[in-house]
Amino acid sequence: MEELREQLHSHSHSYYVLDRPTVPDAVYDALFKELEALEAKYPDFIPPDSPTRRVSGKALDVFAKVRHKVPMLSIRTETDIEASGAQNFDARVRKELGLSDDAPPVEYVAELKFDGLAINLRYEQGSLVQAATRGDGEIGEDVTQNIRTIGQIPLRLPADAPPVLEVRGEVYMSRKDFDRLNERQREKIAAGAKGEKTYINPRNTAAGAVRQLDPAITAQRPLSFFAYGWGEVTPVEQGGPDFQTHYAALLTLRSWGFPVSARTQLAQGATELIAYHQSVGTERDQLPFDIDGVVYKVNSLALQRQLGFVTREPRWAVAHKYPAQEQMTKVLGIDVQVGRTGKLTPVARLDPVFVGGTTVSNATLHNLFELRRKGVRVGDTVIVRRAGDVIPEVVGVVPGPRHAYVPNFRMPRHCPICGSAVTREKQEVNHRCSGGLFCAAQRKQAILHYAQRRAMDIEGLGEKLVDQLVEGQVVKTLPDLYRLGLTSLSALDRMAEKSAQNVLDGLAQSRQTTLPRFLFGLGIRHVGEATAKDLARHFGALDAIMGATPDQAASVAQLLEVNDVGPIVAEAIHTFFQQPHNREVVEQLRACGVHWEEGEPAARAPQPLAGLTVVLTGTLPTLGREEAKELLETAGAKVAGSVSKKTSYVVAGAEAGSKLDKARELGVPVLDEAGLRELLSR
């Protein structure tokens, strides 16, 4: 489960934040579905930061952050690409609504699933005041100036529009505009222009244009927009629109000047959903823009409210995918790539083949066990699938005789980047470089992880700046960050003296931190925020956690005494701190002035709530979610992300959702903030 979560977090970051997908959608969907199944079976092992409990993605540092008034939630993906996918969704809806077999069909809205960048447009008193990306669903990026350059998006609404209106939709680039843009780029390159390039696909180009720091550059990109929903709207009692159906709301948005796809239509029951899916599938290649499926939504807003949500997704909507595209080609060789988390991935070097709209010359084989299972060897003819935007995969080998003996591929014993030992944990399929902070392939990720808000919180140290620092050999390890000077930073691309000074100020402020933040920032495998807090609370001091003995059994035994630390996590911590280069990094960070308060081990302090499992939901009157969690954990309670029969209490505030319903269903005691404070005071 932890491995799946790590993969999903990494893939989500690449797709939503970096606009550089690392796996096809079909692979992500399969991993997500596998994790959902495991969490349903073992609900006690679901952390609050599981991908199933939150919307994927995160805001970039280069733009101001915007907290969405109404979260931009994702919808469930139906990975069954056949007609039965629509039937499954309709059956689930009818079951949730309690409809009998002879009841009339449910009315749906069928829409295209555009392949672009989700945007929230906020209008106040008829004027566009803010545009924000989806980000992590709760917090996005302010891209107002860039969005204003898109001609299809109205800057002013008619008089009958409500005082507050948030319109949600997709910014995209049509295939024709994308081709024209690339043609202009090729002309510039041919004329000798420096720094110019052609673009890979419309989706990434549109997302990159929206995230340009200079709106003038965005204005040169031919972007388009389709509206498909809404966020905050002035309530009916205050003069807002009285929408009864989703389709009527879309027609109203169209009347206010927003483009709504002509392919959006009503569908009665599963039969018409199937017909829509098949119809769009036949014309998919002829559409003027890219899509990666269709979306079904229950039309009645009253029924939507009745159906509600399950964790991160509405029960009343689903995305229905299409089959992946495949071709045959030959394996010329098998190479090994080292990822940002140290994972070693075998990659098939292919005889170039055109599949999924691009020429593919490399395809992932995932891991050694998957490679062996598929029986791939150099010289084989294989089927390559490209189900997403970037990384294709080898599906399998085309049966046929091999004309000569070809040895099985073997994973190297040492990292091809840094030479550190390659390891594989028990019952895990992936091989990893043990170099950690020392390995150049992992360096960028290590720095970004260290600098993130929940770790050392270094303002201004974002993706693009880290790329320059690492690629220019300015920063080779974490302590080098604290040796940066104003001159070296100011010399970097897009770094004026003021921006450079802001980064230095952020670094200076980060020197004073807490032990849990520092531990989490080191990026030790399996050590998340909660485990870092448990380690700091149990040992009290970093030296005690690092341990003076190289004796693995003794060190692991001590670590196993920590709350929620099992054998795999204990071995990962021991291995990390027994690497000489990792210990050196820690000592150098201390020498650079990074410090925190240490104290006595918390094992000596009473933990009256030990053994209790508490779930937090909704907004409490005075306590923030993190503050309440900290109080509970300090008292020994475990704070879980979902409600089960083993939950001791649910603490519910305003706008509590499905967790409160689940607690009532299971008979779990429910507390308000006053009840929580009384529990803590016992």
Q: 334: domain CATH number? A: 2.40.50.140
User: Does residue 473 form part of some domain?
Assistant: yes
pLDDT recorded at residue 640: 85
Max Cα distance, the chain (Å): 79
Residue 311: name the closest of 628, 620, 39, 642 by CA.
642
How far is residue 80's CA from residue 133's CA, in Å, rounded to a whole number?
29
How far is residue 525's CA from residue 574's CA, in Å, rounded to a whole number?
11
Residues 252 and 375 in one domain: no
pLDDT recorded at residue 54: 46
Residue 673: name the closest of 594, 618, 593 by CA.
618
User: Does residue 418 form part of some domain?
Assistant: no
**What residue type is assigned to position 472 of the chain?**
G
pTM score of the predicted model: 0.48
Residues 130 and 267 in one domain: yes
CA distances for 251 relative to 244, 258, 664, angstroms: 12, 9, 39
pLDDT at 412 over 60: yes
Residues 502 and 578 in one domain: no
Q: What is the CATH number of the domain that holds 489?
A: 1.10.150.20
Residues 524 and 553 in one domain: yes
Which long-range CB contacts under 8 A does 17-21 form with residues at least 24 apart? 17/57, 17/58, 17/60, 17/463, 18/463, 19/203, 19/204, 19/207, 19/208, 19/211, 20/204, 20/390, 21/388, 21/389, 21/390, 21/391
Residues in the chain: 682
Exposure letters 146-174 (e unless 16+ CB within 10 A, then b): bbebbeebbeebeeebbebbbbbbbbbbb
pLDDT recorded at residue 655: 78
Cβ 71 vs Cβ 138: under 8 Å: yes
User: Does residue 206 form part of some domain?
Assistant: yes
* pLDDT (average), residues 12-29: 66
Q: Cβ atoms within 10 A of the Cβ of 184, count? A: 13
311 pLDDT tier (thresholds 50, 70, 90) = low
pLDDT recorded at residue 625: 81
How much of the chain, in percent, has pLDDT values that exceed 90?
A: 39
Residues 6 or more apart in contact with residue 192 via CB below 8 angstroms: none
**Can you spell out the DSSP letters for 66-124?**
EE-SS-----EEE---SHHHHHHHHHHHHHHHT--TTSPPPEEEEEEEE-SEEEEEEEE
User: Does residue 70 form part of some domain?
Assistant: no
How far is residue 68's CA from residue 133's CA, in Å, rounded to a whole number?
10
Residue 168: name the closest of 220, 123, 110 by CA.
123
How far is residue 167's CA from residue 179's CA, in Å, rounded to a whole number?
29
Number of domain units in the chain: 6
Q: Cβ atoms within 10 A of the Cβ of 200, count? A: 17
What spatial distance separates the first Cα and last Cα of the chain, rounded to whole Å? 35
The phi and psi torsions of 323 (rounded to 5 degrees) equal -60, 150
Residues 164 and 223 in one domain: yes
**What residue type is assigned to position 64 of the chain?**
A
How far is residue 519's CA from residue 496's CA, in Å, rounded to a whole number?
32
Is the CA virtual torsion 288, 289, 294, 297 positive or negative? negative
- From 603, 630, 661, the end of a domain falls on 603
* pLDDT (average), residues 105-118: 94
pLDDT recorded at residue 388: 46
pLDDT recorded at residue 389: 44
Paired residues of 302 in beta bridges: none
Bridge-based pairing state of the strands 649-652 and 613-617: parallel
* pLDDT (average), residues 169-177: 93
pLDDT at 59 over 70: no
Of 169-173, 289-293, 435-439, 495-499, which range is least confident?
435-439
pLDDT recorded at residue 15: 63
Residues 297 and 226 in one domain: yes
pLDDT tens digits for 380-411?
A: 999 887 754 457 888 888 888 888 888 999 99
- From 320, 354, 382, the end of a domain falls on 320
Residues 183 and 282 in one domain: yes
User: Does residue 480 form part of some domain?
Assistant: yes
pLDDT at 379 over 50: yes
Residues 315 and 351 in one domain: no
Nearest 5°: the CA angle 147, 151, 154 is 75
Cβ 77 vs Cβ 29: under 8 Å: yes
Q: What is the CATH number of the domain that holds 654?
A: 3.40.50.10190
**Is residue 600 exposed (0-12), middle (13-18) or buried (19+ Cβ within 10 Å)?**
exposed
How far is residue 632's CA from residue 649's CA, in Å, rounded to a whole number?
11
Cβ 570 vs Cβ 426: under 8 Å: no
Residue 226: name the closest of 291, 305, 161, 165 by CA.
291
Residues 372 and 478 in one domain: no
pLDDT at 262 over 50: yes
* pLDDT (average), residues 592-596: 95
* pLDDT (average), residues 226-238: 94
pLDDT at 24 over 80: no
User: Does residue 423 form part of some domain?
Assistant: no
How far is residue 27's CA from residue 13's CA, in Å, rounded to a whole number?
15
Residues 136 and 178 in one domain: yes
- Give catalytic residues, as residue numbers: 113
492 pLDDT tier (thresholds 50, 70, 90) = confident
Residues 189 and 312 in one domain: yes
Residues 6 or more apart in contact with residue 96 via CB below 8 angstroms: 307, 315
Bridge-based pairing state of the strands 613-617 and 638-640: parallel
The phi and psi torsions of 660 (rounded to 5 degrees) equal -65, -40
- From 377, 397, 417, the end of a domain falls on 397
Cβ 294 vs Cβ 272: under 8 Å: no
Residues 6 or more apart in contact with residue 624 via CB below 8 angstroms: none
Nearest 5°: the CA angle 211, 216, 221 is 65
* pLDDT (average), residues 32-49: 84
Structure tokens at 486: 């104003």
Q: Which domain holds residue 621?
A: 607-681
* pLDDT (average), residues 170-187: 88
How much of the chain, in percent, has pLDDT values that exceed 70?
A: 94
Structure tokens at 598: 């240490």
User: Does residue 349 form part of some domain?
Assistant: yes
How far is residue 555's CA from residue 575's CA, in Å, rounded to a whole number?
10
User: Does residue 569 form part of some domain?
Assistant: yes
pLDDT recorded at residue 549: 58
Residues 502 and 535 in one domain: no
